[in-house]
Structure 1
Amino acid sequence: MTPNPNPKTAKRLFQYALTAKGIFIAAFIALSIGVAAELAGPFIAKNMIDDHMLGIEKPYFETTQASNAVSYQGHLYKRGDRFEANESKGQEVRILQTGRSFIFIPEAVVNPNGDRKFADGQFTIKHGDKQETYPATKLSANELYSFYKLEIPGILKLVGLYCIFLIISIFTEFGKTYWLQSSANKVIQKLRTDVYSHIQRLPVYFFDTLPAGKVVSRITNDTEAVKDLFVAVLSNFSSGFIYIIGVYIALFMLDLRLGLVCLFVVPLLIVWIILYRKFATRYNTIIRSRLSEINAIINESIQGMSIIRVFRRQKQTNEEFESLNEDYLKHQNKMLNLNAFTTHNLVNVLRSFSFAVILTYFGFGTLMGGAAVSIGVLYAFVDVLGRLFQPITGMVNQLAALDSSMVSAGRVFTLMDEEGEAVTDGEMPRYKGNVQFKDVSFAYNKDYVLKNINFEAEQGQTVALVGHTGSGKSSIINLLFRFYDPQKGQIRIDGQDVKDLPKQWIRHHMGIVLQDPYLFTGTIASNVSLGDDKITREQVDKALQDVGADRILAHLPQGFDEPVVEKGSTLSAGQRQLISFARALAFDPAILILDEATANIDTETESMIQSALEVLKKGRTTFIIAHRLSTIRNADQILVLHRGEIVERGNHDELMQHQGRYYQMYQLQVGTTTSAESETVPSVSMASPTLA
């Protein structure tokens, strides 16, 4: 199952994002304020350059008002843009710079732009083949300062304003980062919860074809990759998108023509993202799939480590792992090559080309005899345009994470799209446990493994299922638990069709003891109650005592509170089985299934729990799948299955008198046991392979 990302994936991710929309909105507001505050910097710099640092080259006029005026050689001069509306202007003068010197020209200058020179009291401005000459005087440092002194308050005001915007930017950056990440964590928490909850609803047969390692990879690795989407990718793309909008607004405010020229960056970026994802999606789909397969083989190797060691399969297992790992590395390298070849190169090319366009535009404007833009505008424009490529770099660098996250999200949603079982609240009263199979036929795929099964089991009866491997014993139990439903026929409990009842309600009053019981990490007591609040500690202790576990487990330092590691590997098979028996007894089921429950128990332990079995079966309908036919001699009904059909039925004595298939199996087993005992070999070691 290798899903591909599609538009629905993005839509579903957006729906999950809406679960934390309040925090996301707060983050975007903070982001917008931060972008505006940050982009205010170039505008402040533009005003500082044009209005104050280079403002000295603007026209000055002689005045009689001392306010905002400069005294020079007994005359008062004021910059033209600082006159009041009703204030009269006198003779125009100019102060122009050439090299590191500033020159006072006591008359108006027609066009101050051009190649400037000052020599022998003459200031010359060349415009191509033409030139203009004006009488001029070089300003001393003190005289120059007297003209600049009036600009200092304005410069300090702009610096203070810049600091305010800088502080706003710092706080909004913190708010944006914190809110985006906290909202992302909230979204991923819900996604993981939903995935895990959905897994609990998936039918049992789903896990027959999907290895546990792949399921774990979906819940952990893939959801973590989706987290990267919200934390890193969304942060970079959303901030980048808003930043780019803000930059272009700033560019158009600075100069409309240059802003239009720089629009070429946007379509190039969009085309690149589309082309990049076309190749990256292909690689990432394989990468995520191989990662799942690696997790699956690691999980399988750990679970079967003893078998690998016993049969010396280390080399073959390593080769399988290395093959997967090599393929994973190969496609990771393809992604690295794709990123290295394109991401930074693309941004650098775009940046260089944009600056070349601006310089060309400005240069041609100068050569044509007029400045295309002022120095302040040019500085601000270059500054703002440089800031444009910061978010573009962030977005391009996150393309790999974006595509990987979308692939992972597609895998997660594919798992969540698997049809699950409906969960119905509440529970039904404890039923009696009268079970009826009527004309039941069932197939896992095409071929029927059960054919026309008919039998009845009344409350308190014990029904044994025997037969060779593949005869259909476990399939009957699977149908009883409703892990599967039959294609034909009916299964009734207390006269009611099981299909008319919620599966959880039916299973609530069923218990099972497996041949190899599964114990969870915790304590012996917690493995009996499984954390059910309805089962008290007194009931747990009594269940363990009734099955004789208090004698078998008496040597443990902490008794029934002894810690149990995963799968109960520190306990013997007999001890685990006793705990499993106590678990079934504590839950007090109406229907009890013993699936070869005594196959792995030694003779001494078996004799100890035989009496416990009688207690366990009392008042319950019990189904036993047995290897050892000696353990079912007291069963009320024995069903002998062969190739999915019931070929014999009756109690032990009746079947022995019939001398059919059951009689042959019993004689074969008893004969094997007798032979084994004559060779002083325990009977348990030979009984298991005989029947399955």
Structure 2
Amino acid sequence: MSLEQENVKSGEIIDTKVLKRLYDFVRPYKGKFYFLIFLTLALAILAPTRPYFIQIAIDEHVAIGDKQGLINIVLLLIFLMVVQAGVQFAHTYISGWIGQAIIRDIRIKLYRHLLKMRLKFFDNTPIGRLVTRNISDVETLADVFSEGLAAIIGDLLQLVTILGVMFYIDWKLTLVSLCTLPLLIISTYVFKEKIKITFNDVRNAVSNLNSFLQEHITGMTIVQIFNREKKEHEKFKAINKDHRIAHVKSVLYYSIYFPVAEIIQAMGIGLVVWYGATGVFDLEIQIGVLISFIMYLQLFFRPIRMIADRYNTLQLGVVSSSRIFKLLESEENIANEGDFQPEKIQGKIQMENVWFAYNDEDWVLKNINLDVNHGDTVALVGATGAGKSSIINLLSRFYEINKGSIKIDGTDIKDFELATLRRHIGVVHQDVFLFSDTIFYNITLGNPDITREQVMHAAKMVGAKKFIERLPGGLDYNVMERGATLSVGQRQLISFVRAMVYNPEIIILDEATSSVDTETEELIQKAIHKMMKGRTSIIIAHRLSTIQKANKIIVLHHGEIKEEGTHESLLALEGYYAQLHHMQLKSMAI
């Protein structure tokens, strides 16, 4: 079963534990919730009043020609109908309001939880699945309150009230009226089971559509470069076809069930008319009673027809809740138990016997020992997969080490308050992500403490000021989604400004100049030289020409440190580094 296909098992009983947890989200609105219950009770009581007063009007006033009494009953009926309409309005509005308030709170809590998750969690979880949890599954919960629990309780109370009134008026006629009830219950149960399956098929189809669209719109460049438009279009048509088939099945079951229910109801009314008319002829039943029973049956059968649909709505809401709570209970979040919050750090880094694996004991780093003094520039080199990026990810605690320790200025990084630790480390990645917003927002990320003057100062330092000023609106220029309106070099420069505006004591450059042209690289190299003054710097670079002046070069191979030293000393060793250097010189000559 795929990650998205988490079906509800047929015959599954509603999990009361989940309902209790949902009630925790109701607590802030318990005043409105209790008022909603009161309105539900009021509707259940008001429902059978209309047939009852019509019976009285016919048997006690029309039959004897009491016009004034009839007028009084009609006025009372109009008043009750207005009251019922007002109560129904309040019930619908408040149930919807509570539902929307609760899903707002759950959505906020869920997103806040996602913000704290380890990167490992996002590595292993499809984005489409998380979007479905935060949007579709949460939205389903609104139906639990507007069309699920409250509505079912109201329907059940209405049934009990109507039955009570019917038995009070004429128990024999009531038993005749209920002769067709077993047929309706059986057909309702069958419908409930069938529609439950189709509801899950629809939800799975929606999840597949979400995942496919998110992935392929994001990767549209690749699709078009490799002329995959037609193939991907065919895939989408197939997924969309599954979605249509699932919906059509649900429409089919509805189109069968409701006519069948109408037939069963008509049979019940037919029996009541036959038996009641016989009683009227024999003067055993009054005509008003017969007419009211026909109306009672219509009121009685309607909630039974709706309960099956609402039960499935409630059940699917509970299933969605279970998925959401499972995500909220995930322990993939980063432990933030440290309380060390220094204003400034020196930037001395120590890695002692560090072991790290993304999965079990498939070690990416093995027994790493590394010392970086304050103000040093250390370069990490090695083939793809050697473990270079893993080291810098561990330093910022994007992942947790399996064994060993990492210290900054002699303090274990786990003892730092997480936000403080990351504030002291500036990271510039090769793959720059920009949000669909202004350049100013993408640099400050909404931090109100950073001024436009500070941004322009940092931009001037890294050589980005001129190109920013040339853009329409300058810092207020909207870069569009993922920075689509900027060149690769411009996006890279913005990432440098973003790192420098926080004035970090440790700078990490992960292939930061690999995606820019020669002219921009020369500009950035000058900026990097200024940035590194007085700061501890870690550089990952494939182009060895950019790191020759580093204080120390670390050569990684299959997760282990094989060599370390200066450019000249490593060349003299004629080992891994020398081999990499000769290979690059040869490729440049070609």
* TM-score, structure 2 as length reference: 0.90
Conserved 8 A contact 1:443-1:449? yes
Instruction: Give the secondary structure class of the aligned counterpart of 2:83.
Output: helix
Q: Which residue of 2 aligns with 1:629?
A: 544
1:255 is aligned to 2:170? yes
Matched letter for residue 35 of structure 2: A
- Pairing of 1:591-602 with structure 2 (within 5 A): 591-602=506-517
Could you give the per-residue CA deviations for residues 240-294 of structure 1, whole angstroms, max 9, x where no partner exists? 2332233223223322344456567877777666654544444433432332222
1:28 is aligned to 2:31? no
Q: Taking structure 1 as reference, are residues 279 and 38 closer, same or farther at Cα in structure 2, changes over 3 Å only?
A: closer
Note the residue ranges of structure 2 that are not aligned, 5 or more in a row.
9-13
Instruction: Give the secondary structure class of the aligned counterpart of 1:564.
Output: coil
- Quick one: distance in 2 between partners of 1:202 and 1:408? 21
Conserved 8 A contact 2:382-2:556? yes
Q: Which residue of 2 aligns with 1:533?
A: 448
Deviation larger for 578-587 or 545-554: 545-554
Matched letter for residue 320 of structure 2: S
1:615 is aligned to 2:530? yes
- Pairing of 1:34-433 with structure 2 (within 5 A): 34-54=43-63, 56=64, 148=65, 151-234=66-149, 236-259=151-174, 275-342=190-257, 344-359=258-273, 361-362=275-276, 365=279, 371=284, 373-398=285-310, 401-419=313-331, 420-422=333-335, 428-429=341-342, 430-433=344-347
Bigger RCO of structures 1 and 2 (CA < 8 A, at least 6 apart):
2
- Quick one: distance in 2 between partners of 1:364 and 1:427? 89
Conserved 8 A contact 2:177-2:269? no
- Quick one: distance in 2 between partners of 1:571 and 1:173? 55
Matched letter for residue 205 of structure 1: K
- Quick one: distance in 2 between partners of 1:649 and 1:274? 73
Which of 509, 514, 517 is the matching residue for 2:432? 517
Instruction: Give the secondary structure class of the aligned counterpart of 2:48.
Output: helix
Instruction: Give the secondary structure class of the aligned counterpart of 1:553.
Output: helix
Which of 3, 7, 23 is the matching residue for 2:6? 3
Deviation larger for 582-591 or 288-297: 288-297
- Quick one: distance in 1 between partners of 2:420 and 2:260? 61
Matched letter for residue 100 of structure 2: N
Instruction: Give the secondary structure class of the aligned counterpart of 1:329.
Output: helix
Once the two structures are TM-superposed, the CA of residue 299 in structure 1 deviates from its matched residue by 1.4
Conserved 8 A contact 2:379-2:538? yes
1:578 is aligned to 2:581? no
Conserved 8 A contact 1:442-1:451? yes
Q: Which residue of 1 aligns with 2:11?
A: none
Matched letter for residue 334 of structure 2: E
Which of 556, 563, 570 is the matching residue for 1:648? 563
Once the two structures are TM-superposed, the CA of residue 346 in structure 1 deviates from its matched residue by 4.7
Q: By percentage of residues, which structure has more helix? A: 2
Deviation larger for 625-634 or 493-502: 493-502
Once the two structures are TM-superposed, the CA of residue 163 in structure 1 deviates from its matched residue by 1.6
Once the two structures are TM-superposed, the CA of residue 24 in structure 1 deviates from its matched residue by 2.6
Note the residue ranges of structure 1 that are not aligned, 5 or more in a row.
57-147, 676-692
Q: Which residue of 2 aligns with 1:485?
A: 400
Q: Which residue of 2 aligns with 1:145?
A: none
Conserved 8 A contact 1:437-1:456? yes
Matched letter for residue 543 of structure 2: R
1:434 is aligned to 2:348? yes
Deviation larger for 171-180 or 416-425: 416-425
Instruction: Give the secondary structure class of the aligned counterpart of 1:519.
Output: coil
Once the two structures are TM-superposed, the CA of residue 425 in structure 1 deviates from its matched residue by 9.9
Which of 336, 349, 370 is the matching residue for 1:455? 370
Once the two structures are TM-superposed, the CA of residue 599 in structure 1 deviates from its matched residue by 0.3
Q: Taking structure 1 as reference, are residues 270 and 505 closer, same or farther at Cα in structure 2, changes over 3 Å only?
A: farther
Which of 457, 464, 475 is the matching residue for 1:560? 475
- Quick one: distance in 2 between partners of 1:254 and 1:631? 95
Q: By percentage of residues, which structure has more strand? A: 1
- Quick one: distance in 2 between partners of 1:204 and 1:240? 47
Matched letter for residue 467 of structure 2: I
- Quick one: distance in 2 between partners of 1:559 and 1:189? 36
Once the two structures are TM-superposed, the CA of residue 452 in structure 1 deviates from its matched residue by 1.1
Structure with bigger gyration radius = 1
Once the two structures are TM-superposed, the CA of residue 379 in structure 1 deviates from its matched residue by 1.8
Once the two structures are TM-superposed, the CA of residue 4 in structure 1 deviates from its matched residue by 4.5
Deviation larger for 418-427 or 500-509: 418-427
Once the two structures are TM-superposed, the CA of residue 530 in structure 1 deviates from its matched residue by 0.9
Q: Report the number of matched residues.
A: 578
Once the two structures are TM-superposed, the CA of residue 463 in structure 1 deviates from its matched residue by 1.4
Deviation larger for 357-366 or 41-50: 357-366
Q: Which residue of 1 aligns with 2:574?
A: 659
Could you give the per-residue CA deviations for residues 626-675 of structure 1, whole angstroms, max 9, x where no partner exists? 12111111111111111111111112121112121111111221232233
* TM-score, structure 1 as length reference: 0.78
Matched letter for residue 217 of structure 1: T
Conserved 8 A contact 2:273-2:290? no
What is the RMSD of the two structures over their aligned residues, measured on CA atoms?
2.6
- Quick one: distance in 2 between partners of 1:510 and 1:451? 24
Percent identical pairs in the alignment equals: 37
Instruction: Give the secondary structure class of the aligned counterpart of 2:538.
Output: strand
- Quick one: distance in 2 between partners of 1:273 and 1:424? 54
Instruction: Give the secondary structure class of the aligned counterpart of 2:54.
Output: helix
Which of 386, 389, 392 is the matching residue for 1:471? 386
1:550 is aligned to 2:465? yes
Instruction: Give the secondary structure class of the aligned counterpart of 2:233.
Output: helix
Deviation larger for 285-294 or 405-414: 405-414
Once the two structures are TM-superposed, the CA of residue 483 in structure 1 deviates from its matched residue by 2.1
Conserved 8 A contact 1:49-1:376? yes
Once the two structures are TM-superposed, the CA of residue 468 in structure 1 deviates from its matched residue by 0.6
Conserved 8 A contact 1:281-1:407? no
